[in-house]
Structure 1
Amino acid sequence: MWEVVASAVAVIAIICSLRQWRNPKCNGVLPPGSMGLPFIGESLELLVSSYSLDLHPFIKNRVQRYGTIFRTSLVGRSVVVSTNPELNQLITRQEGSLVELEYLDSFSKLMNLEGENKINKLGLIHKHMRGITLNHLGADRIKKSLLPQIEQYVNKTLREWSHQPSVEVKRAASVMTFDFSAKYLFGYDAEKSPVNMSEKLSNTMKALMSFPINIPGTTYHKCLKDREEVLVMLRNITEERLASLDKHDRTGDLLDQAINIKGDNDQKLFSSEFTVNMLYALSFVSFDSISSSLSLTIKLLADHPPVLQELTAEHEAILKKRENPNAILTWDEYKSMTFTLQVINETLRLGFIVPGLLRKVVKDIEYKGYTIPAGWTVILANPALHLDPNTYKDPLAFNPWRWKDIDQDVMSKNFMPFGGGIRPCAGADYSKAFLATFLHVLVTKYRWKKVKGGNIVRNPILGFVDGIHVNFSEKRD
């Protein structure tokens, strides 16, 4: 008798829990949607790869079913996804009031951003990282000194690639961009390093959407081990730099600036460990963006010969205007690359460097009859704006010429490849300059052809991930 009663109570408890999960408390009307299974939510559907430049089916199907705002649950979190440009702009403009910066649990743990001061750490990181990054990767630094350094490194890299039967562009570009950035920002020397940091970061990328369960054999566990190896390397670099400061041996790079920032009391603002984690976070977020865009650009150019032809003509015209064709690329030449920028914009529009912005709701948000409760996470799915047929005719077509006629006001509201609001990516100018410089060297000095691969395979975090293998060869006069 008691066993029957206990079983009935257990069943009732499970039913009540499921009902509560599927119908969360709210001081108003929640956006439509489904919460999926307890804890897992609808995460498994989000992890499925897609094979198109279109929006990921997880988002596209729900927009068609529920509209531009819907609720779901991902990795144990209650989430509202918005593809609505008005709501997205409202939220990005109200950071610090209605919302605050948020990351997936797996990312927060990888960045060592846990505990009671997590949000304060996140805000502090962004405030100072943005300032330091702009100082070293912003337009002024690119104009004054960085552009020729990028060109020199791209020349060296493409020369090495041309001596290989073929190159898997995504992987090779990741190594190129990371090794250059890390050398420039904090003195990492890939040729002398006992740890292959680019390989470790590549492994870490795979864990972004994994459940943060540290059990041997899981992707997340392997990722934590790789992370620790990178952190040890960064600690050694930081400690060596701190020791060299006593000898007045300073390089003036980002690491130098970070360890010398002082607060109001004239004390160093960042501890050594904080600096190490900041370097790790900066390395992590800068590792994949340029290489993903570059590999997608190569694929799209290979598939669209007329675009490649006009791109090549623009860069050959730059060489013809020079007194010395072998001179270094200048800032004025870079700014004259009108069609190149159109190609880059079109690739960024289709490529979704930033697949979505995460914000945590701190006060209930009321919008058009819906309430987004405090404590929930909002994903601003800005890539949906890039594929809106009302803004971009035939949005899945690769058409760089469309950018000649797009109004700047329309563009500012419907083109956000580097985020938006008060936290646009501080490396946006650097990414564009690196891509433009790479294309300049590629089309003026090399012939290339696709060997294999290049199919579109996309997941929500890594973007364009399928390997395109390319053979490069130097042009001969």
Structure 2
Amino acid sequence: MGALVVYQVLSKWNEVWYRITNKSLPLPPGTMGWPLIGESISFWKRGPDFVAARRRRFGSMFKTHLFGGPIVVCTDSDVNKYVLASESKGILPGYPRTFSEMTGKWNTFSLYGSEHKAMRGALISLMSASVLKERLLPKIDEFMQSYLSNWSDKILDFQKKSNEVVMLLVLKMVASTEGNIALTKELEEAMHQVSLSFFTVAINLPGTTYNKGLKARRKLVQMLGKLVEERRASKCSRSNDILDTILKNSEDTDCVIQTDEQIIDQIIAFVLSGYETASIVLMMAVKYLHDHPLAQDELRKENLEIRKGKPENYTLNWDDYRSMSFTRSVVLEALRMASIGLGFLRRTTVDTEIKGYVIPKGWTVFVSTVETNKDPDTYPEPLKFNPWRWLKSNLESHQYFMLFGGGARLCIGKELGILEISIFLHYLVTRYRWEEIGENKIVRFPRVEAPNGLYYRLRDC
């Protein structure tokens, strides 16, 4: 009897602790779990299923206790759109401390207000349409042609290859590191470890993911600091890469990126924002295309048409890329289906009223884009891989299009990521076909990965 009483008290502790009595509106429905840990254990075990089950039980907005504090999960498309566009109304980025520690004080994900606007503007200038067309496309094309050569009759792990190709390419664009194999490998390993530590538990003990992430972050700062120092010392030897552009811009007293700390944080943010998502989308696109031969055939048809009439050692130009309508559709559909991130975290700085409920000041808001991106009203047969859906309707302009976030924080690297994957797919489908080797299991939570690798045998077309 006593144990039952203790259980009842503990299971309702958070409900009582976070109960509000002086508000005109109620909290969203939901359960808060145990003291301190809330419902975190259940969430980390079930992930998207945790959200889906509570949506069925409580509706499209519900409260819970995750990541060490009270949180409201939103799965309603209208609410999500409102939250992402309401920074001026006091709904600010709400990423955990571990994320900010790994990405740095000056990363655009955690900044807000005038600082965010200035830093974001500086980064956008590095990935404008003219920069993509004139500077980055030639580098990407040259790299992909070389990287995808001599794959015929080989068995390759496309999880490993996807991680590798994206990281090597981004480092090439940022700091022209391709001539220094040792430095490239060190940067790649450190960046990967940092990316694994974004949302880990902040326990700084030897061997923990958090501890490894902090060490990798310090190593990154040291290596990138040395690169910055060397570039500044050799002004006459420019590499025409992102780092050169940042350093050149920093000489302007009006530029917001001035200090080495700011420069390094922006480089890390640039690399990591383009690495995690692009590598997984690329891997999943290869898998979806293998599993859906009609889509692969259509993709090959489009890209062979682009190649037709070109010399043997051709290069792709901007017009070629802009004509890849089905290729772009494959990339968008792979991103939608893969559900790489569960959503976005925001934090209320004032009591916020939404749909008849109040979200108290200081609470976290979890914008669940998994639900939005699989809403059957927007995407009929949402669990079906169907790139053609992007051709039939202007989904990229749809009010509930949230594959790249929304509001003032729409992903800066959206077009760069699509460009990278599109060029990769062009050379893959025009050179090779691939067949699955073994059973390639995909795990989708807490991150999308193939625990045992994703192996395919390639042969010439």
Flag whether TM exceeds 0.5 (same fold): yes
Q: Write the distance in 2 (CA, Å) between the matches of 1:258 and 1:413.
A: 34
When normalised by structure 1's length, the TM-score is: 0.86
Question: How many residues matched?
Answer: 453
Q: Write the distance in 2 (CA, Å) between the matches of 1:108 and 1:474.
A: 45
Matched letter for residue 79 of structure 1: I
Matched letter for residue 330 of structure 1: N
Corresponding position: 1:296 with 2:284: yes
Matched letter for residue 85 of structure 1: S
Query: Per the alignment, in what secondary structure is the counterpart of residue 447 of structure 1?
Result: strand
- Shift in Å, 1:265: 6.2
Query: Structure 2, unaligned stretches of length 5 or more?
Result: 1-5
CA contact (8 A) 1:111 1:280 kept: yes
2:374 corresponds in structure 1 to 387
Q: Write the distance in 2 (CA, Å) between the matches of 1:272 and 1:84.
A: 42
CA contact (8 A) 2:442 2:448 kept: no
CA contact (8 A) 1:259 1:268 kept: no
Matched letter for residue 208 of structure 1: F
- Shift in Å, 1:387: 0.8
Query: Per the alignment, in what secondary structure is the counterpart of residue 437 of structure 2?
Result: strand
Corresponding position: 1:412 with 2:412: no
CA separation of 1:256/1:25 partners in 2, compared to 1, >3 Å: closer, same or farther? farther
1:146 corresponds in structure 2 to 136
Matched letter for residue 430 of structure 2: T
Matched letter for residue 40 of structure 2: S
Corresponding position: 1:463 with 2:448: yes
1:332 corresponds in structure 2 to 319
Cα deviations by residue, 1:232-289 (Å, 9 ceiling, x for unpaired): 11111112122224xx443343323334545996587432122222222222222211
Q: Write the distance in 1 (CA, Å) between the matches of 2:366 and 2:146.
A: 40
CA contact (8 A) 2:14 2:33 kept: no
Matched letter for residue 445 of structure 2: N
CA separation of 1:71/1:194 partners in 2, compared to 1, >3 Å: closer, same or farther? same
CA separation of 1:347/1:408 partners in 2, compared to 1, >3 Å: closer, same or farther? closer
CA contact (8 A) 2:339 2:370 kept: yes
2:387 corresponds in structure 1 to 400
- Shift in Å, 1:110: 1.7
Query: Per the alignment, in what secondary structure is the counterpart of residue 412 of structure 2?
Result: coil
When normalised by structure 2's length, the TM-score is: 0.88
- Shift in Å, 1:80: 1.1
Corresponding position: 1:275 with 2:263: yes
CA contact (8 A) 1:355 1:382 kept: yes
Corresponding position: 1:211 with 2:201: yes
Corresponding position: 1:38 with 2:35: yes
Q: Write the distance in 1 (CA, Å) between the matches of 2:85 and 2:209.
A: 36
CA contact (8 A) 1:356 1:382 kept: yes
Q: Write the distance in 2 (CA, Å) between the matches of 1:368 and 1:408.
A: 26
> What do you get for the CA RMSD once the two structures are aligned?
3.1
Q: Write the distance in 2 (CA, Å) between the matches of 1:369 and 1:406.
A: 33
Q: Write the distance in 2 (CA, Å) between the matches of 1:205 and 1:24.
A: 37
Matched letter for residue 166 of structure 2: T
- Shift in Å, 1:121: 4.6
Q: Write the distance in 2 (CA, Å) between the matches of 1:295 and 1:359.
A: 29
Q: Write the distance in 1 (CA, Å) between the matches of 2:280 and 2:305.
A: 28
Q: Write the distance in 1 (CA, Å) between the matches of 2:108 and 2:379.
A: 39
Cα deviations by residue, 1:39-75 (Å, 9 ceiling, x for unpaired): 222222232367xxxxx11211111111111112222
CA separation of 1:124/1:451 partners in 2, compared to 1, >3 Å: closer, same or farther? farther
Corresponding position: 1:91 with 2:91: no
1:21 corresponds in structure 2 to 17
Q: For 1:79-228, what aligned pairs fall within 5 Å after superposition?
A: 79-113=71-105, 121=111, 126-159=116-149, 161-162=151-152, 165-189=154-178, 191-193=181-183, 196-228=186-218
2:3 corresponds in structure 1 to none
Q: Write the distance in 2 (CA, Å) between the matches of 1:313 and 1:30.
A: 54
1:66 corresponds in structure 2 to 58
CA separation of 1:328/1:347 partners in 2, compared to 1, >3 Å: closer, same or farther? same
1:436 corresponds in structure 2 to 422
Cα deviations by residue, 1:299-354 (Å, 9 ceiling, x for unpaired): 1111111111111111112222x253542112212211222222222112112344
- Shift in Å, 1:149: 1.9
